[in-house]
Amino acid sequence: MANGYSIHVAAHKSQKIGASKAPGAELAAVAMHEIAVGLGYTESVLLVDTQATTQKFKDELQRLAGKLHAGDILFVSLAGTGKALAESTDCPHAHDQGVNLFDDLLVDDEIYCRLSKITVNARVIVVADVCDGIHPTCPVDAFAPSGTFCGSSADTDCTNRDTCDRAGTCRANNEARGTTCSDGDACTTGDQCDGTGSCTGGTPTICPACELCRSDAGCVAAIDLACEPGVPGTSTLTISNNPGTANDELFFDWTGANPIAKTDFGSPLSLSDYQLCIYDDKAAPGEPHTLVYALSADAGGVCGRVPCWFDLRWPGFAGFLYYDNELTPDGVQLVLLEAGRAGKSQVSVTARGRNLGLVPHDSKVFFSQSNKVTAVLVANGAPKCFRAEFTRPWLKNLPSGYKDRS
């Protein structure tokens, strides 16, 4: 089996008077050495800085050459500054070149003469990266100036393009920890850089009543969401504004026109806060409808001594039930969420008592309803919302209450 041997020599500065410096030469030698080691060479010698003397190089070159057998490889690399020389007669082959090592100038004839004495059928590779430091096509080897672009070109809130540090290292330019940034999620505020180039989300956005946060848009009113429609003629909204606020009542019932899965209701036992949002069109034409009632049934929680929400798994029934006989905070007593095929899914809300805060539009009608009243049941974390629109003529619209079918 053939063996590989290599020697790599470079000095970034030389004791020889008038020799120019080559700050990056030793990096080149180290790179060549690592290549040889990575290729599994039997032995690789690295001579840099004060070890890179002419005599040490000659001795190691001769020693490695003496180990060669037929089929072996000898890899020699030199890096640094140097110059062209007048042709000598000791070992003529071409124009002489010299490379500055730590103590003196090494002439290529000295390498050629030693290699020419190898008698076995071995392969010899010589790579020289030597510049005079003067000619414009081969200037003095040096590290790139500080600020030179390198590495990653990413330029974000938390990181700038990588740059050289003038010492041969490409460094990341991350913004300091705590620097203001945007994580691209409209539902977080106070986002900050983490010091490693990433932006971490801050405090979750808290939207006003009957608005849900969307990562791409921020807080969006329930009436502006694309919600599931009901089966025409089956959804009802009934409001009773009875004498004494304790007797006030509201009922909303909706039957889905499309199939609704249980997962479409989100996770009301732990995450999804439900709200029934009722809009009247008291606003000017072309403006969003006015939110007049926002009734909440928050996720989880304990009502009395039992959980407010129940996961219903009866035969042939899949859904959730909310029950709060304390009617807090907005008077909601019951929310039923029932999954089912088209025409069979159902949601309903019952609310009672003074917490409802029922107030008629004026002394003549409960809702202004120049066009329509809209009811939307929504929850954060739920894939779907549920909507019914009640248009004129209404079944009832008096200060004492409202009733209509959609």
Dump pLDDT digits (tens) for 42-95: 999 999 888 989 899 999 999 999 999 999 999 999 888 777 776 655 555 555
pLDDT band, very low/low/confident/very high, at 141 (cuts 50, 70, 90): low
pLDDT band, very low/low/confident/very high, at 282 (cuts 50, 70, 90): confident
**Cα distance between residue 391 and residue 397, in whole Å:** 11
CATH number of 4-131: 3.40.50.1460
pLDDT digits (tens, 9 = 90+) for 7-50: 999 887 766 645 555 567 788 889 999 999 999 999 999 998 88
Residue 355 has pLDDT above 80, yes or no: yes
Tokens of 8: 């790599």
Residue 136 has pLDDT above 70, yes or no: no
Q: What is the mean pLDDT of residues 342-365?
A: 94
Residue 294 has pLDDT above 90, yes or no: yes
Q: What is the mean pLDDT of residues 383-406?
A: 95
Q: What is the mean pLDDT of residues 259-287?
A: 90
Q: Which residue has the tokens 């806060």?
A: 273
Residue 96 has pLDDT above 80, yes or no: no
Cα distance between the two ends of the chain? 89
Q: Where are the beta strands (DSSP E) in 104-208?
A: 105-107, 123-131, 159-164, 170-174, 188-189, 192-193, 199-200, 203-204
Q: What is the mean pLDDT of residues 311-332?
A: 92
Q: What is the mean pLDDT of residues 234-238?
A: 97
Residue 255 has pLDDT above 90, yes or no: yes
Beta bridge partners, 223, equal none
pTM: 0.63
Amino acid (1-letter code) at residue 401? G
Q: What is the mean pLDDT of residues 238-258?
A: 93
Tokens of 78: 């030199």
Q: Which residue has the higher pLDDT, 402 or 168?
A: 402
Q: Which residues contact 370 (CB under 8 A, 6 or more apart)?
A: 281
CB-CB contact of 210 with 221 (8 Å): yes
Residue 12: what pLDDT? 72
Mean pLDDT of the chain: 88
Residue 340: what pLDDT? 95
pLDDT band, very low/low/confident/very high, at 107 (cuts 50, 70, 90): confident
Residue 314: what pLDDT? 81
**Cα distance between residue 325 and residue 341, in whole Å:** 31
On the CB side of 147, how many CA atoms lie within 13 Å of its CA? Answer: 0
pLDDT band, very low/low/confident/very high, at 208 (cuts 50, 70, 90): very high
pLDDT band, very low/low/confident/very high, at 123 (cuts 50, 70, 90): very high
Residue 124: what pLDDT? 93
Residue 139: what pLDDT? 57
Taking alpha carbons only, the member of 236, 265, 275, 209 closest to residue 403 is 236
**Cα distance between residue 157 and residue 228, in whole Å:** 39
**Cα distance between residue 294 and residue 330, in whole Å:** 8
Q: Where are the domains of the chain?
A: 4-131, 159-203, 211-405
Residue 146: what pLDDT? 85
pLDDT digits (tens, 9 = 90+) for 368-388: 887 899 999 999 999 999 999
Residue 22: what pLDDT? 58
Q: Which residue has the tokens 């928050």?
A: 298
Residue 296: what pLDDT? 97
Residue 278: what pLDDT? 96
Residue 177: what pLDDT? 95
Task: Classify residue 59 by burial, with Cβ atoms within 10 Å: 0-12, 13-18, 19+.
Answer: exposed
Residue 180 has pLDDT above 90, yes or no: yes
pLDDT band, very low/low/confident/very high, at 135 (cuts 50, 70, 90): low
